[in-house]
Amino acid sequence: MDNLQELLHGFTIAITVPHLLLMAVGVLLGILVGVLPGLGAPNGVSLLLPLTFGMQPVSAIILLSSMYWGALFGGSVTSILFNIPGEPSSVATTFDGYPMARDGRPTTALATAFGSAAFGALVGVILITFLASWVAQVALAFGPPEYFAVYFLAFASFVGMGGAAPIKTVVALAIGFAIAAIGIDTVSGSVRLTMGIDELVKGVNFVVAVMGLFGIGELLVAVEEEFHARAVSSKIDWREVFRAVGRLPRHSVALLRSAAIGCWMGITPGGPTAASFMSYGIARRFSRRGRYFGTGEVEGIISPETADHAAGTSALLPMLSLGIPGSATAAVMMGGLMIWGLNPGPMLFVDQKDFVWGLIASMYVGNIVAVALVLLTVPVFAALMRIPFVVIAPLIVIICVVGAYSVSNSYLDVVMMLGFGIVGYLFKKLFYPLAPLVLAIVIGDKAEDAFRQSMLMSKGSLGIFFANKLVTCLIVAGIALLLLPLALQLARLLRRPTPSARNETTAQEKVII
Amino acid sequence: MGRTSTLLLSAAAAVLAGTVPACAAWQPQKPIEFVATAGPGGGTDNLARAVQNIVTKYKLTEQPIVVVNKGGGSGAEGYVYGKASAGDPYKVIFGTSNAWQQPLVSKVAFNYTDLTPIAAMAQDEFLLWVKQDAPYKNAGDYLKAAASGEFKMGGAQSKDTDEVLTRMIEKAGKVKLTYIPFKSGAETAVQLAGGHLDSHVNNPSESLGQWRGGTQRPLCVFSPKRLPQGPKVTATEGWSDVPTCTEQGLDIKQYEQPRTVWLPGKVTPDQAAFYVDLMKKVQATPEWKDYIEKTSQVDTFLTGAELDRFIKEDLEHVKQVAGEQGWLVK
């Protein structure tokens, strides 16, 4: 239990007045950049980075990581209230969070999201504390075939998932893959699908796509369906915050399963985005109320949020121990480490014990500070929902336009964002699911790279995906998830095709996310 | 009348211009944008931010500086942006040799001639790395083992510096390597540590932590002489203990990657001169020395004709390798 001793030493570093103040400042700044879409955690952290050069490395990393926690929480706020995810990893939160908020329960939605996020983060930190050395080894075992297998698993948990017609899911995935392919291809180095627009060489930024698909797309649907401007009447009730958090233990199965998925994806390193999608997909399939997912289910919020934060937290471990940043924000922090004169890698745990354990202890404390601050702000954010739609709608358009422009100061991005808005509207009207589209945009090119790297390694043989136990397990699990709904349907058909069963499927088609 | 007054005016202007001291030639009048042609955290981004900090700390200009990242398309995004900003002296583009190498091998919408070269500020070295527990002690052993034709070489990006060097090694060592491109040097280093690759040719800073952590070690450096003496990296060895590749029978005398600074095209010589001077001032500070040492790069400063010559020579060389591989775009 050397680790415990080190951790206690870490707490003596983290729990000092200046460090607690830094945490509070970091969290508040983080919530701010998280709530403003287009700014986001990576940009926020890089803006703050120059200020930390004069600081002790421990203080600097505490400030930056607190900002990261704050931004993760803040990102969920806009996902739930306005259907605009600020970070790729909070997309899945919109699926049930937004319907619940529109339903007049924004306080419940926010408090549930924050509570489960805190739980996920806590599990992630505990994992880091006890399994630091083991986890580092697991991450090393991941070569291109294993990466591909993890992405395959994430896709598989979505295709054929009840709800949208499987063929529509496949169409959405295919469009997403095509969008992800735009720009320079890593494996061949050539320019693809830029359609003569020079600037498209940079590819399609995720934030641009998502703000259009969700923010603008949802707005268009709302304008059409309920033009009679309606404000959501939500009582600001402090007790509801605590009641919502208090109800969480009832969903302990979902919490634990999502935390496990999150930790696994964080260290392997599939990343928080794949984790939250996979967790949502699996919850939808295995939850008793799975068919109501997409209409504002509590477990539909718990699952992605828990997994997202568990993965986001445990993703810091590969960064520290191996120098692989698990997310864009981690990459910026890694740049910071180098500038402060530290080199991420296995030796960090030996040479810089104060730094590493100070940081780990600050994750415990920082998350508690973040959750306390963010729960305090719930009623304030929930009150935003009472503003009439006629006022909120233009604000959402402004936020999306400014957000898209600020990604890389480009008008093309604004135009693309509006274009995605129309695509999002059409998807909704035609009952095509948006989730697989977004998933393919976010990890489609990574999956493609991993697949082609594997093919280069094996000189074209698919046998490489069954070359060792790890990759075989992942691939088999993926195939099983892919075939499970088919097998279930087959079994049901064989038993008796009753009219009631048919009614059920049509009901499901209506609740497409 | 009109004509005389114009004449008088221009004469007065000429006198004025003559009397104002040379140092006030051109000064920026609004905020300056540093464009890093790489994502946050990469080597190019670090350079842009290091320069930003030094300029701000010593107040080398009155104007504020913002760093923006345009790393999409392996950096092409930033260069295309520079091309589109022709005549705008408030955009400074930070890149590498891919400013002239990338247009050779892929259909990107820019060429280095669309930009105004300011300086090459630091050179990053390349080394041949293998896994810590690999059986070969030197480059000779490595080449002998690689003759089997089963070796996997990793690197950052496709048809970029890493792959060019890989093809040079193939030619000089008469071996065949399977090149596998990854997104970055850092990712490649992790893949080698996990045993998924046999070797890579990372820059010192990309694999420093891994060497110190005992997961991989350098066999030789692609430089005419050994690297300068510095602090030890592992318990027993530092950069200066790494032999050169030529010493070990892998005949590639020199291969390095400059970090380059550009302005958009069509700026005036005055404006270019201001930035050349600014970069010179930056390089004279102790913070710069610190940055160079921490990132294990070599301090250089090429500008004007010297820089032009360097670019031309490098271009010829890459063209030759790319031509042999059939990479050149038509």
At residue A184, the 3 state secondary structure works out as strand
Torsion of CA B216, B221, B283, B46, to 10 degrees: -30
- Please state, for a pLDDT cut of 90, what percent of chain A lies above it: 28
Residue A197 contacts B where some CB pair is shorter than 8 Å: no
Mean pLDDT of the A49-71 span? 85
At residue A192, the 3 state secondary structure works out as strand
Of A342-346, A416-420, B31-35, the range with the lowest mean pLDDT is A342-346
Tell me how far apart the terminal alpha carbons of chain B are, to the nearest angstrom: 60
Best residue in B101, B164, B199, B215 to probe A by mutation, most A CBs within 10 Å? B215
| pLDDT confidence bin for B37, thresholds 50/70/90 | very high
Mean pLDDT of the B179-189 span? 88
Q: Which of B116, B162, B84, B167 is nearest to B269 (CA)?
A: B116
Q: Is pLDDT larger for residue B78 or for residue A486?
A: B78
Q: Which of B286, B223, B230 is nearest to B256 (CA)?
A: B223
pLDDT at A47 over 90: no
Give the pLDDT confidence score for residue B145 in this predicted structure.
94
Convert the pLDDT of each residue in B296-317 to its tens digit: 888 999 999 999 999 999 999 9
DSSP A213: I
Give the Cα separation of B199 and B204 in Å (integer): 14
Residue B266 contacts A where some CB pair is shorter than 8 Å: no
Tell me how far apart the terminal alpha carbons of chain A are, to the nearest angstrom: 46
Q: Which of A363, A369, A362, A361 is nearest to A8 (CA)?
A: A361
pLDDT at A509 over 70: no
ipTM score of the complex? 0.85
Give the pLDDT confidence score for residue A162 in this predicted structure.
52
| pLDDT confidence bin for A505, thresholds 50/70/90 | very low
SS (H, E, C) A24-52: HHHHHHHHHHHHCCCCHHHHHHHHHHHHH
Phi, psi of B130 (to 5 degrees): -130, 170
SS (H, E, C) chain B: CHHHHHHHHHHHHHHHHHHCCHHHCCCCCCCEEEEECCCCCCHHHHHHHHHHHHHHHCCCCCCCEEEEECCCHHHHHHHHHHHHCCCCCCEEEEECCHHHHHHHHCCCCCCHHHEEEEEEEEEEECEEEEECCCCCCCHHHHHHHHCCCCCEEEEECCCCHHHHHHHHHHHHHCCCCEEEEECCHHHHHHHHHCCCCCEECCCHHHHHHHHHCCCEEEEEECCCCCCCCCCCCCCCCCHHHCCECHHHCCCCCCCEEEEEEEEECCCCHHHHHHHHHHHHHHHCCHHHHHHHHHCCCEEEEECHHHHHHHHHHHHHHHHHHHHHHCCCCC
Which segments of chain B belong to CATH 3.40.190.10?
127-254
CATH architecture assigned to B127-254: 3-Layer(aba) Sandwich (3.40)
Copy the structure tokens of residue A233: 């009447």
SS (H, E, C) A349-415: HHHCHHHHHHHHHHHHHHHHHHHHHHHHHHHHHHHHHHCCHHHHHHHHHHHHHHHHHHHHCCHHHHH
DSSP A292: G
Convert the pLDDT of each residue in A175-188 to its tens digit: 999 999 999 898 98
| pLDDT confidence bin for A486, thresholds 50/70/90 | confident
**Inter-chain touch A408–B106, beta carbons under 8 Å:** no
Convert the pLDDT of each residue in A290-316 to its tens digit: 788 888 899 999 999 999 999 888 877
CA angle A334, A335, A341 (to 5 degrees): 90
pLDDT at A74 over 80: yes
Give the pLDDT confidence score for residue A231 in this predicted structure.
53
- Please state, for a pLDDT cut of 90, what percent of chain B lies above it: 65
DSSP A462: G
pLDDT at A497 over 60: no
Q: Which of A221, A213, A209 is nearest to A393 (CA)?
A: A221
Max avg pLDDT among A386-400, A492-506, B6-20, B78-92: B78-92
At residue A311, the 3 state secondary structure works out as helix
Residues of A with Cβ-Cβ distance to B45 under 8 angstroms: 335
| pLDDT confidence bin for B221, thresholds 50/70/90 | very high
Do the Cβ atoms of A157 and A92 come closer than 8 Å? Answer: no
Residue B279 contacts A where some CB pair is shorter than 8 Å: no
At residue A293, the 3 state secondary structure works out as coil
CB atoms within 10 A of CB B266: 13
Interface of A with B in 416-435 (CB under 8 A): none
**Inter-chain touch A187–B158, beta carbons under 8 Å:** yes
Q: Is pLDDT larger for residue A502 or for residue A3?
A: A3
**Inter-chain touch B46–A199, beta carbons under 8 Å:** no
- Could you check whether the bond before residue A249 is cis, i.e. omega within 30 degrees of 0? no
Do the Cβ atoms of A446 and A269 come closer than 8 Å? Answer: no
Compute the count of residue pairs across chains A and B with CB atoms less than 8 Å apart: 152
Cα of A356 to nearest chain B Cα, Å: 15
B23 Cβ contact list (under 8 Å, min separation 6) = none
Q: Which of B142, B122, B139 is nearest to B48 (CA)?
A: B122
Would you list the domain boundaries of chain A? 2-510
CA angle A158, A77, A221 (to 5 degrees): 65
Residue B285 contacts A where some CB pair is shorter than 8 Å: no
Q: How many CA atoms lie within 13 A of A340 on its CB side?
A: 26
Best residue in A64, A267, A339, A470 to probe B by mutation, most B CBs within 10 Å? A339
Do the Cβ atoms of A294 and A99 come closer than 8 Å? Answer: yes
CB atoms within 10 A of CB A232: 19
Residue B52 contacts A where some CB pair is shorter than 8 Å: yes
Convert the pLDDT of each residue in A121-170 to its tens digit: 999 999 888 877 676 677 788 899 998 998 898 888 777 555 567 788 88
Looking at the DSSP assignment, which residues form a beta bridge with residue B35?
B68, B93
If you average pLDDT over every residue of chain A, what do you get?
Answer: 83
| Nearest CB neighbour to B39, from listed A50, A142, A331 | A331
| pLDDT confidence bin for A408, thresholds 50/70/90 | confident
Residues of A with Cβ-Cβ distance to B183 under 8 angstroms: 186, 449
Of A7-21, A227-241, A412-426, B169-183, the range with the lowest mean pLDDT is A227-241
Residues of A with Cβ-Cβ distance to B69 under 8 angstroms: 46, 408
| pLDDT confidence bin for A57, thresholds 50/70/90 | confident
pLDDT at B12 over 60: no
A469 Cβ contact list (under 8 Å, min separation 6) = none
Do the Cβ atoms of B128 and B142 come closer than 8 Å? Answer: yes
pLDDT at A405 over 90: no
What CATH number has the domain spanning B30-123+257-325? 3.40.190.150
Give the Cα separation of A45 and A436 in Å (integer): 29
pLDDT at A120 over 70: yes
Residues of A with Cβ-Cβ distance to B204 under 8 angstroms: none
CA distances for B70 relative to A265, A410, B272, angstroms: 28, 11, 22
A371 Cβ contact list (under 8 Å, min separation 6) = A73, A114, A115, A117, A118
Which segments of chain B belong to CATH 3.40.190.150?
30-123+257-325
| pLDDT confidence bin for B271, thresholds 50/70/90 | very high
Residues of B with Cβ-Cβ distance to A143 under 8 angstroms: 191, 194-196
pLDDT at B163 over 70: yes
